[in-house]
Amino acid sequence: MNFDTRGFSELTRKATELMADTADVPIVLHSRLGEHHELTRAAREMVANIEALVRELRSFDASGAHDAGESDFVVS
Amino acid sequence: MYIPEADFEYLIRTLSDARSRATELAVSIGSRLGTEHRLAQLANSAAASIESTLRQVRNPAAEKLDSAIGLAEPIASPPMPVSFSGGAGLDAEHWLSAFVDELLVQARSAGGITFEGVERLLQHRKDEFLRDFLTARRMYRAYPRLFPEITNEARQAGTS
């Protein structure tokens, strides 16, 4: 069974939307609580985690690693 | 410094929605690539950090930590009262626990608590519950093998 590349692009799109929709959370917390508040730091870490996911998803999607015969990830 | 009620509502709504979407993403990626794959782990980390941030925003005690000076230092906190969920014998994830937490935040805020505010919070909680429920149902329908306990229960109920 090969991965559905359209499905994977869709996952990348959803993750990108998630990143955009949460981008202002640390900004709001920073403006209300300050840079060093633990909530602001937690929100920054959260955004960094989402950004890392999006970056890897884009890279994975662009590399075509999910295409048949090109990757360890393909299962049969 | 404090977080106004409107910002609280916005943050909780945004993070609750993000948590559902990130969990759905993690399940989708895990089902395609396997849960051990780096992408699945990244997705799980993202979902976990959203969950963690949401918990911290919801925690009424966080509102009291409004002094940036004291935040870097460990704070000797007084003994916490028994939580509502613990006292009522509810799971910490139960919607009623979150609702009561939000009510307490509102009651302690500058504007105080009003019937309108409570109605708004309850409607928000109801919307969020339904959204999470629909997400869970979609996930179960799409990936039933990821929920063996439910599948087994359904099977047993069918045979008895």
B136-151 tens-digit pLDDT: 887 777 777 777 777 6
Predicted local confidence at residue A56, as pLDDT:
93
pTM: 0.57
Nearest CA in chain A to B31: A3
Classify B150 as helix, strand or coil. helix
List chain B residues with CB under 8 Å of A39: 53, 56-57, 62
B133's tokens: 């429920």
Query: Are B49 and A45 inside 8 Å of each other by CB?
Result: yes
pLDDT band at B57 (very low <50, low <70, confident <90, very high): confident
Query: Are B46 and A53 inside 8 Å of each other by CB?
Result: yes
Q: Residue B94: which residues within 8 A CB-CB, separation 6 or more?
A: B85
Using alpha carbons only, give the angle B105, B108, B112 rounded to the nearest 5 degrees: 105
> Cα separation of B136 and B133, whole Å?
5
